[in-house]
Amino acid sequence: MTTTRTLRIGTRASALARVQTTLVADAIREDSGCAVELVDVTTRGDVDRASLAQIGGTGVFVAALRERLLDGSVDVAVHSLKDLPTTMPDRLRLAAVPVREDPRDALVAPEYQTLAGLPPGARVGTGSPRRAAQVRAARPDVTVVDIRGNVDTRLKRVTGAAEDRLDAVVLAYAGLVRLGRADEVTEVLPPELMLPAPGQGALAVECRADDEATAVLLKALDDESTRVSVAAERALLATLEAGCAAPVGALATVAGGGGVRTGGAAAHNVDLRAVVFAPDGTASVRRTATGPLGEPERLGRELAAELLAGGAAALMGEQET
């Protein structure tokens, strides 16, 4: 399929956002031959240095991109899927969810290497209440420091001046891989220790709901296994009525591996595990479930109901006190 149009793709201006958008742009060019133009868009999350909990994490990296999409300034918007609010605007469509990068979190601790290896009182930086809670649960003897900024800024906190240096930072492994900085990771944190955010490692490619031509172009980028997995995770988040800054971890996998067909045979199930933490890490509710491949949203809703029955709402409510 080829086209002579130029597709304008909105992106945040950070290095990671541009790398992620370039991955999508390159895939569009390769599949369709369509010319693409990247358009930088500044979001509230890029300019407000307050913590995500303070500025209302849900949508702070998304709203400005969506506004430019709706007013016709761009044809496509690329987001980190974990930043998307769980409610989709009527005038937009999630046209593609490309193959997911590794969804796990990563520790960068040049001196101590691992979370277990950190000494008591070590200072660990993260801007995520979810990561903070799970660090505190695993290591109640360390100090969690709230930090913001792009990947480079956060990594410099473990190598910079002594007065504000941290012993470790926790970031999404996918972002470091995409930036070519995976060699700086000292420990990839397993889901058993730290469940990632719903949608972490995946990208969301949006277009206007009435733009059928662009939707057709983007369809080739969609990965069914990834879409099914994140649908389960996001349905769970929506049912919990929790935003992307809440201390909620979730990870869905298509049974049998990374694809809807594994070992030559079709996979039929989705495995979903989730946890809700108190912000201080002292209490949590954890559940797992398996459901049919064709009903990921139902699986997410049902597992969320189990979490709520186990007391998850009270734990999430503690972040407001």
- Residues with a catalytic annotation lie at 83
Strand partners, 87: none
CA dihedral 226, 228, 234, 237 (to 10 degrees): -120
**Has residue 193 got a pLDDT over 80?**
yes
Share of the chain above pLDDT 90, in %: 79
DSSP string, 231-298: HHHHHHHHHHT--TTSSEEEEEEETTSSSSEETTEE--EEEEEEEEE-TTSS-EEEEEEEEETT-HHH
* Structure confidence at residue 266 as a pLDDT band (50, 70, 90): low
**Has residue 321 got a pLDDT over 50?**
no
CA distances from 90 to 93, 207, 210 (A): 8, 11, 10
d(CA 243, CA 254): 24
d(CA 245, CA 124): 18
d(CA 249, CA 303): 12
- Per residue in 210-235, pLDDT (tens digit) is 999 999 999 999 999 999 999 999 99
Pairing verdict, β 143-146 and 123-126: parallel
What is the sign, positive or negative, of the torsion defined by CA atoms of 57, 87, 240, 204?
A: negative
Return the structure tokens found at 193.
Answer: 């220790």
**Has residue 263 got a pLDDT over 70?**
no
Alpha carbon 34 to its chain's center: 28
* Structure confidence at residue 299 as a pLDDT band (50, 70, 90): very high
- Per residue in 136-191, pLDDT (tens digit) is 999 999 999 999 889 999 999 998 776 789 999 999 999 999 999 999 999 999 99
- Per residue in 195-211, pLDDT (tens digit) is 999 999 999 999 999 99
Return the structure tokens found at 76.
Answer: 């496509």
- Per residue in 28-75, pLDDT (tens digit) is 999 999 999 999 998 655 444 444 444 344 456 799 999 999 999 999
Strands (DSSP E) along the chain, which ranges?
6-11, 35-40, 76-80, 92-96, 105-108, 123-126, 143-146, 168-172, 187-189, 203-208, 248-254, 261-262, 265-266, 269-277, 284-292
